[in-house]
Every structure is written in C-alpha cells, then in structure tokens.
C-alpha cells in the first residue's frame, strides 16, 4: 500500500471548500487587534486570543523593535547551547516572581512547553492523568512520555478519584488540567483537584495558556482561586495575553532545573528571538501597570454571555472571555460562520474532535480594547444569523 493513498482519498476539506464554507487558513492582510482585514473586507475580530489587546500596545511594539536592533532577528541556537540571552533569564526571573513560584523556564512555544515538561517528568512506571477537555499539546506530551496516560470526565472529581485510586501505590502520578478550558471558557475546579491529588499523592500541573493575563489580576487560575502555593507547576504561553511567541513553566527551582536538562523540546529547538522575549517582558510590565485590562476583558465576557443568552443562544458553561456559541450540527455551524464573516464578524468554527460530536460551535473570544459599539454590532449580527438559520 502506498503511504500517500490517505492523502489522495482525503476530501473532507475540499468538499466544504466546494460549498464555499471553508473557514480555515484564511490569510489576513492586516490586523489592528479588534479589527482585521481579509483583502478589502473589514471584520470585527472576535476570534483572537489577544485578550489584553497588547499586540498593538506602543510599549510592546517598541520593546520588540529595540531588541531586534540590539540582538538581531534570531538566536540561531537552542537554550542548551548558544541560544540563551540575558533577556531570557530576566524574563524567567520576572515571570517566576509574577506567578508566585521559585523559578520559571522559557520555551520556544506553549505547545513545546507542555510537550517538553510532561515528557521530561513522566517516565516508565509513571502515570499522567488528564481532563478529557485538555488541550492537544497536553495529550501529545503524554504520548511522548514513557509513562501511561489516563483520562477522567471533564471537571469530574469523582471520576478523577476513581482513576487515581486504581493506580499502583508506588507509581509516580501527574495530573494535568487546563486552568481555563480553551473551547468552553470554563474554569478548572482547582481547590477540589488539589484535595484529590493530595489524597493520592499526585502532583498537579495547570496549563494557564488562556488564564495568565486574564484571571487573578493576570496571575492566572490558581491566583484567581487563591491556591497558587498548592499547585506544583503552572504553564503559560506568550501567544495570547503576552502578545508574542513562546511559553513557560513555573514551579519549584529543583523541578525547573530538572526539566531544563531533560525536556527535549527545549534542548533541541532554537530559542525565541530577542524581539519575542522583549515583547513578552514589556507585556508583563503592562499587565502589572494596567490591571484594569484584565478586569475589562472579564466584564466583556460576562456582557457577551448575557447578550447571547438573551437572544436564545447556548453558551455552555463559559466563565471567561472565551464564549462558545453552540450550534450543534457541523454544517449549520459552517453556514453561521460564513454569514457572520460576510456581515463583518470574524469567529472560529470548531467541530469534532476538538469538541464532542454534535456540539459544533463558534468560538468567540474577546479583547480588552473592544468598544461597546463593536460588541453591539456583533450581537446584532448574531441575532440576524440566528433568525435566518432558525436556531433562535
């Protein structure tokens, strides 16, 4: 059998393209945070993870430009060898202090942070336990480890306890959950998770990619819930609130030191360029100086949940600026996406396997710099589309 046969028979995307409903890999010609352009078509952007609106912040832009002028455009090496700059170390020190942990380690992407951390820590005869709605990078980290993966139903503490209770007493255990779940916008039950983990001697890692900058005055889910000291590892990414590219893991110094010397995705990848590190540092400073941004984006999330619900839409269990609008059937979701796109609203359609079968949705996410007029425009566009499709 020819290895490429699967490529020739893969027609799903082409079928949707033929219907004029293909919503992926659309090239933007310009973007100004809350507004984007596809060619000459202007759209209100509610499909971005730029939660604090810092990609266009003058301080962040200037920091990146200054770093490029000083260091150039690339480190041309891994952190392990010639790719560590003093800028990286300063960023790690500042992040650890901000998050409330002894140490932090910067990776080239958030994806590599999860893959590297989990695969470094979870060895043979160890177990890694994940929530069924965890991000794909967590699952890939589990698969690349030498340990065994177990899963429990979403935010189900009884389910987690059942899994942990069946593991060998002498096995290492790492529980990994999203702080804010990227599709549903709901928050992990960290106090309850901590209780179960302690009962069974499991360590707890929280992926705060969608929480840092948003919850707990920017410090993430554990800070929001007052349990930072009880969470063993906190992960974050720079590609969302930090308006850059990269990721980090924060925890006890000896654990971070171990990860630093065992995470293959760190050792065998080029480090983030100086411009990205400087942008993340500047974004961190803005988070500290302007905490009103995180409060504003949370207020917008609540406003949009109320608005969608009043129109008759299902927004699930969202508690954050991630607000899913659930349509259910895939083709209805694609049609809604196209109608909104034509009306000037940019959203992200999500179907199985990213969400359960029959739970297709438009993932909307908000930015602290969205204006009230833009938000009203979005709600009115959704109202018109919902009525035309007969879903409200």
C-alpha distances (whole Å) from 115 to each of 176, 240, 249, 265, 372 are 12, 18, 11, 7, 39
In DSSP terms, 207 is beta-bridged to 178, 235
State the Cα angle at 317 between 312 and 321, rounded to 5°: 90
How far apart CA 175 and CA 152 sit, in angstroms, is 10
182 flagged as catalytic: yes
How far apart CA 5 and CA 88 sit, in angstroms, is 45
Among residues 88, 101, 135, 210, the one annotated as catalytic is 210
Host H or E run for residue 50:
none
> Which of 328, 347, 344, 349 has the alpha carbon at shortest distance from 16?
349
154 flagged as catalytic: no
In terms of C-beta density within 10 A (0-12 exposed, 13-18 middle, 19 or more buried), how is residue 230 classed? middle
How far apart CA 49 and CA 266 sit, in angstroms, is 24
Among residues 240, 244, 265, 294, the one annotated as catalytic is 240
Among residues 182, 244, 265, 318, the one annotated as catalytic is 182
Question: Helix (H, G, I), strand (E, B), or coil: what is residue 115?
Answer: helix
Host H or E run for residue 189:
none
Whether residue 122 contacts residue 249, with contact meaning beta carbons closer than 8 Å, is answered with no
Alpha helical stretches, state H, the chain: 5-9, 12-18, 58-71, 86-99, 110-121, 136-144, 157-165, 190-199, 221-225, 253-262, 264-267, 274-289, 292-311, 330-343, 372-389
State the Cα angle at 291 between 54 and 85, rounded to 5°: 55
Catalytic site positions: 182, 210, 240
């Amino acid at each position: 059998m020819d290895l490429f046969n699967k490529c020739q028979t893969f027609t799903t995307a082409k079928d949707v393209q033929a219907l004029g409903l293909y919503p992926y890999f659309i090239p933007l010609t310009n973007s100004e945070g809350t507004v984007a352009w596809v060619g000459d078509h202007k759209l209100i952007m509610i499909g971005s993870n730029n939660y604090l609106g810092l990609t266009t912040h003058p301080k962040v832009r200037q920091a990146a430009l200054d770093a490029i002028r000083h260091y150039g455009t690339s480190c041309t090496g891994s952190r392990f060898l010639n790719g560590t700059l003093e800028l990286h170390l300063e960023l790690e020190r500042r992040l650890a202090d901000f998050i409330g942990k002894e140490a932090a380690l910067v990776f080239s992407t958030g994806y590599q942070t999860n893959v590297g951390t989990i695969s470094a820590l979870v060895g043979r005869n160890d177990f890694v336990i994940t929530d069924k709605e965890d991000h794909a990078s967590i699952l890939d980290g589990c698969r690349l480890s030498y340990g065994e993966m177990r899963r429990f139903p979403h935010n189900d503490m009884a389910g987690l306890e059942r899994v942990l209770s069946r593991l060998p007493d002498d096995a290492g255990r790492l529980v990994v959950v999203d702080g804010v779940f990227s599709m549903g916008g709901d928050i992990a039950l960290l106090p309850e998770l901590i209780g179960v983990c302690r009962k069974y001697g499991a360590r707890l890692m929280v992926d705060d990619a969608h929480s840092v900058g948003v919850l707990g005055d920017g410090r993430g889910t554990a800070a929001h819930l007052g349990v930072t000291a009880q969470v063993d590892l906190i992960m974050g990414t720079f590609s969302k609130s930090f308006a850059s590219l990269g990721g980090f893991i924060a925890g006890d110094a000896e654990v971070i030191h171990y990860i630093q010397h065992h995470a293959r995705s760190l050792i065998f990848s080029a480090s983030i360029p100086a411009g990205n590190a400087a942008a993340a540092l500047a974004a961190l400073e803005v988070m500290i100086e302007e905490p009103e941004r995180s409060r504003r984006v949370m207020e917008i999330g609540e406003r949009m949940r109320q608005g969608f619900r009043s129109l008759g839409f299902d927004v699930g269990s969202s508690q954050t600026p991630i607000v899913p609008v659930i349509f259910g059937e895939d083709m209805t979701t694609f049609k809604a996406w196209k109608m909104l796109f034509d009306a000037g609203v940019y959203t992200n359609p999500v179907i199985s396997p990213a969400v359960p079968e029959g739970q297709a949705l438009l993932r909307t996410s908000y930015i602290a710099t969205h204006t009230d007029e833009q938000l009203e425009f979005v709600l009115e566009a959704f109202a018109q589309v919902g009525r035309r499709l007969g879903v409200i």
